[in-house]
Amino acid sequence: MCADMVAVQWQDESGVEQHATALLDDISASGACLNLDSPLPLGASVVISYRKGRLEGSVSYCFFREIGYYVGVNFKPATKWSPQQYRPKHGSCSPGGPLPS
């Protein structure tokens, strides 16, 4: 578990740009799992902003559990996370680690 706060931006079903703060639950080279207070639409384009950059992708899953919505983001082919690019402040994340299901 990474447990770092990130900014998330996406467009809702009506095309209005939305912003939220999310907990980065897990991250790998191909995607991330975020924990949010609100659901995100499947397939929505998402920008995850962190201290020194951003990652772009699309929503692959969204489901509710006791503490909020878990949102899976598959990164765009040109967007790859690596520990050298961005290392969350808390916990440890593996560049080859699986996304939670």
pLDDT band of residue 100 (cuts 50, 70, 90) is very low
Task: Name which of 69, 56, 55, 51 is nearest 4 in CA terms.
Answer: 51
The counts of H helices and E strands in the chain are: 0, 6
The domain total for the chain is 1
Q: Would you say residue 47 lies in a domain?
A: yes
Q: Would you say residue 64 lies in a domain?
A: yes
Q: Would you say residue 96 lies in a domain?
A: no
pTM: 0.80
Structural domain range at position 56: 4-75
Q: Would you say residue 89 lies in a domain?
A: no
Which is more confidently placed, 26 or 59? 59
The per-residue pLDDT for range 67-95, each reduced to its tens digit, is 899 999 999 998 877 666 655 555 444 44
Task: Name which of 34, 28, 35 is nearest 98 in CA terms.
Answer: 28
pLDDT of residue 13: 83
Query: Which whole number is the average pLDDT over 23-29?
Result: 90
